[in-house]
Structure 1
Amino acid sequence: MIRKQRIGFFLLYGLGFFLLWEWLRPLEQITNTGHIEYFVYFLLSALCIYFLQIRPWLGFLLKMLLIYFFLFLVFGKENSGLGGWSYLLLQDSVDNIKLLLSGQFDNLSDQFRTALLYILIWIVTYLFQYWIEVKRSILVFFIMTIFYISVLDTFTKYEAKWAIVRIISIGFVLLGLLFFERLVAKESIKIPTTAKWKWTLPLVMMISFSVFIGYISPKAGPVWPDPVPFIQSQADNVLPRNNETSRIGYGEDDTRLGGPFLPDDRVVFTAQTPSRQYWRVETKDIYTGKGWRASTGQSPLGNIQSGENIPVDPIINRDYKETQQAHITMKLLYPHILIPYGFITVKGNENGSFQYDFNLNKLRSYNEQNNAVELEQYTIEYQNKNFSVEEMRETNDHSVDTNVKAWLESYLQLPDSLPDRVKDLANEITAGHDNWFDKAKAIEQYFKNGEFIYTQEDVPVPEGSQDYVDQFLFDTKKGYCDNFSTSMVTLLRAEGIPARWAKGYAPGRYMGQNGTYEVTNNDAHSWVEVLFPTQGWMPFEPTIGFQNAVDYSYDENNDPAIPASSGNSAIEPEEQQREEPKEEKIEEPKQVENERNSQPEEKETTLMKKYQMYVIYVLLGLILIGVLLFGMRKKWLPYYLLYLFKGPSDREKLIEAYGKLLKQLARVGLKREKGQTLRDFASQVDTYYKIDDMSVLTESYERLIYQSPTSEQIDLKATKELWENLIKKATG
């Protein structure tokens, strides 16, 4: 009987699968989501589990295993073994749950986002099963699907012409079949399966014919003008003029910094590289009090051929490691070339050439007609450099040659209007340090003292004669990377340390595939560069929540403690030795993307790190045991109830015990129908178990409920024995 009833739902679930599939089809075109087929497989599997009416606890475990399996296929194949990846998965889940609870949604890893999408599909399939089998109405979901596809067709590149045809066809068939199911259930009509097909086939044919006629029929042109261009133009111009909210991303004009901004998660480029890198686009050296501009005077170096060495920062001592390559694939096209530290050359413009702007330290690509050209792909060669802490600590005002000092003057420029309290603060921060490196680290660390706040919102623009740095250091103490980096450059110059302002992109999100990093507009970033005559331009990272991507060489015999920093630099050698291997170190950092509201995570204790894996496995085991106990509760719960009601019984305990018995009977499939009397239900139970205990117990229960002082006394002991016999039988 049950088998025939499920056959009637087979067509409904099949049509539902194709309708739900329409929600997944656009993802590959409008997002960066890959492996859509795995989501489709999971969707089909979840619907099959509900259709086959697999026990809830077993269905839960099956769906969890499917999610685990599909995540492993995408993210775990390149890891060393299933066990190692399982540990990384649990650790990643714990880290991302913390980010989720703190509201840092932009910093969630791709692996965790994928798991959340699987869970969302799980929830939707459960709701679909509820709409199909309980409510027997799909109208709301059908309308939502049409609206979803229509919006994507209107505002994205997704072409939904055939999707609309499929949705209308499937939706109307489902509506018709569910109407028939509701009618049969309402009138309590018993109809054989063959009769249902006699209803279904004409319905399908009629709808198919109607859709076909509608598709081939001529259509009049639109009467109203297209509203989409108007809506988009209004959206672009909705921002205020003063203290305006800009959209984050690379821009050339930095003459007036400040103000809030809007995030933008569009991918700018992907970089396949063996190491994390800052991707510099340009530098600027003249601070105006409101923003930055570059010096002028030097002519660009042009006609540089692909693969030819380019003199970017030529003062750098090239005592480097072996040459490495970074393969860049641009998603948003620009004519400039991204420059990592240790840059040597670039390949990829064989039909044109490159020009290097000395004023901006900016490299651009040109075609044969000397017009700027935007390259979609190119390869950069560079050499990672270990900056020597010993040599940098030997650099101070007295150690620098007089001729070099004259050349450095352009990187010590400060506006005459700079308030004296900025210079006094620089002197106060660096007091007690006698070299440029320690002074720079002291200033970098100053911004991590707890007084400053990283935020994207409510960041003011200095008005009138107010200085941008002075406003940030003494008045607001809140802002983003431009505030932090500009302030540090100014404080360094106030101490006679040559520095400049660099801008480009942070390393981006590690994708875990062949060393690939994905960099979005949210990664647009600015930082600080300090010039050490024997080392070259050394990057510093004052912005809260960001990590410096450079390596230090600890070649001193007695290296004094280096001030702590926000990144992986300026830590003692002992701490470096305790860091995880390179592969895990790349995956572990959740690089706080530029202009994102985040705070650095607290460090875990050594003891916690040591036993973290065991704690996670114990918690996982407890969760699994809990799921199994819940799924098998109808087996063990009767024995718990026997223990709970052990001992002498009174009227109240027996009344409570009878209610527990009804719930247990419902768990094993003997559920009391709505409106059914207790005596009718008791007779049904006795028929099932071929006894008469339930009827006798129910009669005693009713007498206990309505018992009066003059009523005949009930044998409580015999009543309890009846209850015990029934609760033992109700174990499934």
Structure 2
Amino acid sequence: METQSKLIGSENLSVQTTFKSTGKTLDLTASDPLLFRLLLSLTLMGLFAEWLHPFTAIVEGSSGNRLIEVLYVLTAVLLFIGMFGFRWFVSTWIYVASILFAWMYAFEEGVSLSWMRSYIDILQNDAVDLLNTGHYTALSQETRTLVLVIGWCMLVYSVQSLALFRRSIMLFAVATVLFLIGLETVLDLQVYADVIRTCMLVLLLQGLTHLARLRDSDASGVIRKSVYGIWIISVSLAAVGLVAIVWSGLQVMPAKELNRASLNDAVGHVQAWAETGYMQLGQEKAETGYNLSGDMIDMGQPIIQNSKPYFIADSPVQTYWRGEILNNYDGRKWSMKPDNLMPTTAINPFGSKNEVIAQEKGNLITQHVEFKQALRQDFPLFGGGIISKVVAVETGSPKALPVMMADPLAGTIKLAVDTNTAGVVGYKIETYIPKVELDKLRLQGGTDPSTIKDHYLQLPGELPARVKELGLQVTSGNTNRYDTVYAVKEYLAKHMTYTLDTRVPAQGQDFVDNFLFETKQGYCTHFATAMTVLLRSQNIPARYVMGFAPGQKYAGEANRYLITEGDAHAWVEVYFPQQGWVPFDPTPGAATGSIVSPVLAPQTSDNNIYNVFSYTWSSFINPSSWSKMLGLITVLNRLNWVLIVGTSLSLILLFLAVHHLWHSREMYRLWKQLHFTRRTFPHKKHLMAAANPVWEGLGRRYGAIDPGATVREYITSLNIEEEIMRSRLYSFADDWEKIAYDEVPPNRTTSIAFMQECWLIANQLV
């Protein structure tokens, strides 16, 4: 028989647990004095502070420090609430309110309904981005912060519950010590004092919880308040005394310096392997995207494709999106001198002659950019050419207009954004697209201005001689600048291979030299850098451009384009004295490899599905199988009818799931190719395989292609009422024929667009 324990003091709270050893139901939080629970919670607050304190030395910017401060306050509030052990329907609302207030204060000065309404739109975009990419990094900063706050709240609640009700804190204590040691090992932070404080707090917690365990195991379940006081004072003195003894001992006899020889030796071995021709190991893979941090790192890091949407653009013509010009190459990375930038105005960012130049040398167009997520850091204005005018800058707050900086020599504009504002959500610019006539370029001559030569012929003094010799060899025999430039572009396309799976060259090795003579494979950074350096070695002014490829049409809308992180790109601009800067993209498509005959008809896979289904059905209705089925039914009748229904539904769902997975296996391969496995540029056979789900869907809905019919004849013969679907299929047929029969490999943008087109059409045909 269970009896209610006696209570100490007037606290009578609701959290209860049953102990099998005594058969008693004890109200734990009520049995512990409020002062005891307060001291236990304060000690836990100290442990949580040890988790947060090191990050104050790591995070940068006011937003990061603000988040740490919010987590401090949230932890204190949650521990205070947890002391009283409210019923779940009360505590749940308190916890939810605390989370929401903390989350909002991390971004705003206070609670703002307008900000909450704006977050609904952000959340919708996050849901779409997460479904499209499957990556947590696709979420906005607001959503990721919300997830962090919720996770932190769950951690605080769990640890306090274990301490108060289960009398257990060792798991969290060990995790805290390991966390601090990990920070010292990985980030080289000084955490010795933190570890000492943690040990003292753990000893104090162990003493407090041990007294509570003794009370729980006692038959009466009662301990006098005076015993609590004596125990708390004794444990506190013992914990502080032990830590003080250890600390003073270290002052008398300091610890020996850690011997890190083994780690240094390991690093030395890796460097030695790299210097002797081995590829560096363990390099972290980054995702494709535009680097706005301003921190220039050594080039060559392996990357994976990222299809997260970056911005939507309205433009009368499809263009590359020019961002920044980098002019200084040091053998490992590109950089730009900060003094090149100067404050400017929106009307004439490069001087009063800017619009005249635009009318003489290019077509003036208007472009509008809308970011998927507001940018809260400095960024360049992306445009199709030289920007003539900044028509508008759209911000989350009209009071937070960014400062506009221009680089007149490069023809680029950068916005300096305050990180504490709502950020920039879009802008509208007028830009001109240069008119370039290739035949006239071959006939042009002239002398390069001294300003151009001073800025765009720079090469590192340590550039290997064989790079210059190769540049001379490739360009010899050409009588004009255009043919010389084209010869370099063709050499790279012929002798180098496109891949995202690369490595940073060993320390002391030139990036271009490593690419041209050793690895001979890379992505746009490799090709654009190599072309720029080879041209400069022959006294041809060239510069490295960062921006975005044109992207793809957005939802079938005219003059509207979607640019993703995967469209981040680099190319080259070459100077022609009578023309100005002319862009060239040296990054090639994939090598075609072997030519694979296209497979138009999907009858085989469909027939296999129907054969399997037919065999399963015929086996089920075969009379010889009924005896076994009756035996199974007899056994099932002995079980609860709920189990029978649940098992039946589970089997039906399992069958439907297997059938769906088998039927959609080609779609899965296409999805995997789009989002995960495309570390190298897709070959022709991969692009042909990407079209298989489309042919299968067309075969199921409209019938297989007739023998001898062409792809265009087959598409034309289909009775498709939807105009958008018919237009997509015609575009798909054109792209498929080009890939299947052209000897020239498709470029990067075309390949990605074709696979995404296949994915959209196949989903509509399901």
Range into which the TM-score falls when normalised by the shorter chain: 0.3 to 0.5
Structure with greater helix share of residues: 2
TM-score, with length taken from structure 2? 0.42
TM-score, with length taken from structure 1? 0.44
